[in-house]
Amino acid sequence: MKKTLVSLIIFSYALTGFSQSDNIITTNGGVPVGDNQNSKTVGEYGPVLLEDIFLVEKLAAFDRERIPERVVHPRGAGASGYFEATKDMSTYTKAVLFTEAGKKTDVAVRLSTVIHGKGSPETARDPRGFAVKFYTEQGNYDIVGNNLPIFFIRDAIKFPDMVHSLKPSPETNKQDPNRYFDFFSNVPEATHMITRLWTDLGIPKGYQYMNGSSVHGYKWINQAGKVTYVKYSWVSKQGEKNLTAEEATIQQGLDWQHATVSLRKAIADGNYPQWDLYVQMIKPEDLHSFDFWPLDATKDWPADKIEKIKIGTMTLNQNPVNYFEQVESIAFSPGALIPGIEPSEDKLLQGRLFSYFDTQRHRLGPNFQQLKINQPLEAPKNYNSDGWISAGNKRFENPDVNYQPSTKASLTEDPQYKQSETTLKNVTITQKKITKTNDFAQAGDFYRSLTKQEQDNLIKNLSGDLGQVTDKNIQKTMIGYFYRADRDYGMRIAKALGFSQKDFMN
């Protein structure tokens, strides 16, 4: 009788579902998730903790969604050249590439679209990736950013969801404004990035005609151990040039690989593209002196408040001769850091430190740094062993010893390269949104900085995509965000979508 009752209960659940817990997000192990919006941090503004198991699981699952194409940035072009420092910044950092004016460092660069697939047109509206690998005598250093100085989200825990919303639907296999505006209507901090992306900046005329940014702030450390927060900006010496939506349509009919072709032709013709590198600096004690949190990736560092200082120039003068080996196989990570540069507490950056290395191990294998394009100038010296495409124990002085400590081991640590110490007082482990969000002010400032023609193009581009959304409540929510950024901005979008004032009064 008892066995029959249990069977009936199980059968009943199979038919009706597990009512109350059906809508609860869980880990892959079935454990309920209490917060899917905020990573676990040391205090409100502190670094993200590795003990945030759900964050790590979520990012690790996301990193493995595509084989072998990159999950994001799958379509890209590459080139190599050199960076020449023009200013001695040793007062602020001991990073070898920035400590001597005139010093040259070899670089490899990959410029890319973000969301669309490997064979997609470069005429699509999309952020552009801007990744630079510096081959220094103290190891490889990567600045991995975008052509825009900000991003959609401030916390890496939202990154898989954001990309899912922008990728084609798992049901229809079509990229759909109904999906990504549904997501963005619940993410007000994306208003700034949306405002920039739907201007003509969303479709660069060629890769050499776009600027770049690290997006995140980093820590520079000098010889005395003093910390300065910095943000990088690449400024194209060719000028920033973009396509209107109408020009992009024409270009797509002529050649939808225009950005790759343009970059490659410029280098082949000897018109070597150049970018000046600028940094902005903030003292740790000044981080809280702004009306925004500088380590929030949705925020720009205004040049009128934080000076931009030119520190060098990058020149690209070599095209790849084997695309797969030099561009497809190149692996970047914001965690590829050298002495004198450390990550900041930026929540989105903290997640990327794990995610980028993890996706490269998945895509190229655990020994991806042994591929020629990813090798540092000096051969690595450590006791990592074996695995796919491993070069074996050739790097060991004693092939029998691949461990430490050992009486036979010759490799030792160098105390001068220990991570800098950070003092934390009265902190709590927390999982919540930062207090100083200020989601709309910079979006409004940017809108008002545009020319009338640029504003007209933004309204046309944005209302064209938002107009495809069938849920009027999502449209109204987005209009509300734009209105809070700038009254004229919101009202023009509302008018373009056919809304009147009375539609917002109930």
Per-residue confidence (pLDDT) for residue 506, from 0 to 100: 64
Please give the annotated binding residues for heme, written as ranges.
Answer: 356
Residues 6+ apart with CB under 8 A from 500: 494
390: nearest Cα among 413, 361, 412: 361
C-alpha distances out from residue 367 to 25, 70, 353, 372, Å:
35, 17, 17, 11
Query: How far apart (Å, rounded) are the C-alpha atoms in residues 143 and 120?
Result: 25
pLDDT value of residue 394: 56
Which of 38, 116, 140, 146 is an active site residue?
A: 146
Burial class (CB in 10 A: 0-12, 13-18, 19+), 247: middle
C-alpha R_g of the chain: 25
* pLDDT of 395 over the 80 cut: no
* Fold match between domain 53-376 and domain 441-504: no
* Model confidence band, residue 297 (pLDDT cutoffs 50, 70, 90): very high
Q: How far apart are CA 330 and CA 110, in angstroms?
A: 8
496, 459 Cβ separation under 8 angstroms: yes
Q: For every residue of 132-158, which 3-state class applies, written as one string? A: EEEEECCEEEEEEEECCCCCCCCCHHH
pLDDT digits (tens, 9 = 90+) for 301-320: 999 999 999 999 999 999 99
pLDDT digits 0-9 by tens, 317-372? 999 999 989 999 999 999 999 999 999 999 999 999 999 999 999 999 988 998 99
Q: Is 367 a catalytic residue?
A: no
Would you say 221 and 187 are in contact if contact means Cβ atoms under 8 Å apart? Answer: no
Residue range 23-42, pLDDT digits in tens? 888 877 888 888 989 999 99
Task: State yes or no: is 38 an active-site residue.
Answer: no
Helix (H) or strand (E) holding 444: helix 441-449
Q: What is the pLDDT of residues 223-279, one digit of tens each?
A: 999 999 999 999 999 999 999 999 999 999 999 999 999 999 999 999 999 999 999
Do the Cβ atoms of 199 and 454 come closer than 8 Å?
A: yes
Architecture of domain 53-376: Beta Barrel (2.40)
CATH superfamily of 441-504: Catalase, four-helical domain (1.20.1370.20)
Three-state DSSP class for residue 448: helix
**Average pLDDT of the chain to the nearest whole number:** 91
pLDDT digits (tens, 9 = 90+) for 56-84: 988 988 888 766 788 899 899 999 999 99
Q: What percent of the chain has pLDDT over 70?
A: 94
Rounded to 10 deg, the angle between the 245-254 and 452-466 helix axes is: 70
Q: How confident is the model at residue 380 (pLDDT cuts 50, 70, 90)?
A: confident
Domain ranges of the chain: 53-376, 441-504
CA distance 305 to 307: 6
pLDDT for position 505: 77
**Is the separation of the CB atoms in 353 and 333 below 8 Å?**
yes
Name the catalytic one among 73, 116, 216, 258. Answer: 73
Give 109's strand partners. 79, 132
For residues 278-285, give the mean pLDDT: 98
